[in-house]
Structure 1
């Protein structure tokens, strides 16, 4: 079931073509990761999918009544504004204390409800943003470099959380990654973007694609490390077959070189 699809879209900003002939789709319970260098059009692509920037060509189609949860790359909150995490979750739509508590517990930070947003760590802040997105019970999560600024353990933990959310809710996930050489192992597909789609496939297929290595290989010989972990639960929703996945634990076991 396709949740959102771009068909041969082009976007012009200030007279310059930022995206050319880009096509992609995200299905239910699918995780799609977009990789690309600075200036490759990653954030512009997300804004085009969200309908924020106009298309010069092509089209974007969405499932009827599609609910989208959005986690921005960064969100600035004035330090002089004493807004707690619980209050933040009630903007703009008011939530009950029970709902906000459940949302914070779901993303693993139940203790921050009464803490000011400006006093949270980077990882806590991103989890609160994710909790806010999940309150809308989205069909599709769109995350714009959600782990930027986190250390490796924080990034790995956030990726594990996204995988758990996908498993439990069957939400589709479209995520832009800031790290060209580290991608979430649970990604069903990776799309390499540089104004156009350079290559696309599973993480392992993309890591061996000459287009990927030519674009992103500097300094790492093209190696694509995977954030992975071990879990032994049944994924009974995966194509109707229950099966176990065994993954190595951490990116430290998968050096970037």
Structure 2
């Protein structure tokens, strides 16, 4: 299977603290891969490395040349003193054909918000607008960093349902960081469990039975998430590989003191050219 992004032996160290340790992962065509793990595990840092925002200290990340990427940040803080409307925000810094704009407006059901200032939108409305903006360039890969973190449970359910519909109908790949474990298990096709290194990876039904996953989240959580398995999870795993040589680090996780860059408040342009960092 053709890989859109490949990370090999990625290591990131900040202030003498290891944030990512020898992480290897592939994102393939039609993949839906969700990165999960406790706070401070390096999830957002891995996402930034995969997108080319941050160069690893060791290892390398390769992106398929010309890959079109749509990015949904963790959050966006709108300045109330700059009354930019949703419609203007969608077309800002982008040349958008009206047909494509109409498509994403209908797809994400944001028409009632088009003439509202960004600053007055609810959390759910804003996340739909950010998703719509990410879809405007007809991406082959949609990347989301904790997209439902600031939503209530109703908003989370609605957003993940919409995301699953986009994934299915657009025939694209999705790469996501999320802490909404029970909701993730009902939509994603593959899960990467991270605690500075790859603890386990595969289909949700397999991961929830992995001893390392159970030791990280506890047997009760593993049992709860196993009950959320999606009917579509008969699809084969995409052949992700990982190394268990550092597995003991996953068995007794403790809060990590380092800054891992878990928050992303801007909308940078995704790097879409092949990159290799020594």
Instruction: Tell me what 2:205 maps to.
Output: 204
Q: Which residue of 2 aligns with 1:64?
A: 65
The C-alpha deviation readout for 1:23-57, integer Å capped at 9, x for no partner, is 11111121101101111001100111111212111
Counterpart for residue 10 of structure 1: 11
- 1:13 and 1:34 map into 2 onto residues whose CA distance is 21
Q: Normalising by structure 1, what TM-score?
A: 0.83
Structure 2 vs 1, CA of residues 56 and 229 (structure 1 numbering), >3 Å: closer, same or farther? closer
What does the per-residue CA deviation read over 1:92-147, in whole Å, with 9 as the maximum and x for residues that have no partner?
A: 11435554333221112222111111111111100100110100111111100001
Contact 1:180 1:216 in 2 (8 A): no
Structure 1 position 104 matched with structure 2 position 112? no
Cα deviation for residue 201 of structure 1 reads 1.4
Contact 2:187–2:230 under 8 Å retained in 1:
no
Q: What's the CA shift for 1:228?
A: 7.3
Matches within 5 A, 1:1-257: 1-96=2-97, 99-217=100-218, 220=221, 223-224=224-225
CA contact (8 A) 1:182 1:226 kept: no
Structure 2 gap ranges (5+) = 237-278
Moved more, 50-59 or 139-148: 50-59
In structure 2, the residue corresponding to 1:65 is in which secondary structure? Answer: coil
Cα distance in 2 for partners of 1:121, 1:84 equals 14
Cα contact 2:68–2:139 (8 A) shared by 1: yes
Using structure 2 for the length normalisation, give the TM-score. Answer: 0.77
Kindly indicate whether the alpha-carbon contact (under 8 Å) linking 1:207 and 1:223 is maintained by their aligned counterparts in 2.
Answer: no
Q: Is this contact kept in 2: 1:6–1:22, CA < 8 A? A: yes
Q: In structure 1, the residue corresponding to 2:82 is in which secondary structure?
A: coil
* Aligned mates of 1:20, 1:87 — CA distance in 2: 42
Q: If each structure's strand is expressed as a fraction of its own residues, which one has the higher value?
A: 1
SS at match of 2:224: coil
Contact 1:28 1:172 in 2 (8 A): yes
Q: How many residues align?
A: 233
CA distance, structure 2, for counterparts of residue 97 and residue 9 of structure 1: 41
TM-superposed CA distance for 1:14, in Å, is: 2.8
Contact 1:4–1:62 (CA<8 Å) still a contact in 2?
yes
Identify which of structures 1 and 2 has the higher relative contact order when contacts are C-alpha pairs closer than 8 Å and 6+ apart. 2
Preserved contact between residue 205 and residue 226 of structure 2 (Cα < 8 Å) = no
Structure 1: which 5+ residue stretches go unaligned? 232-237, 240-257
Alignment-derived partner of residue 239 in structure 2: none
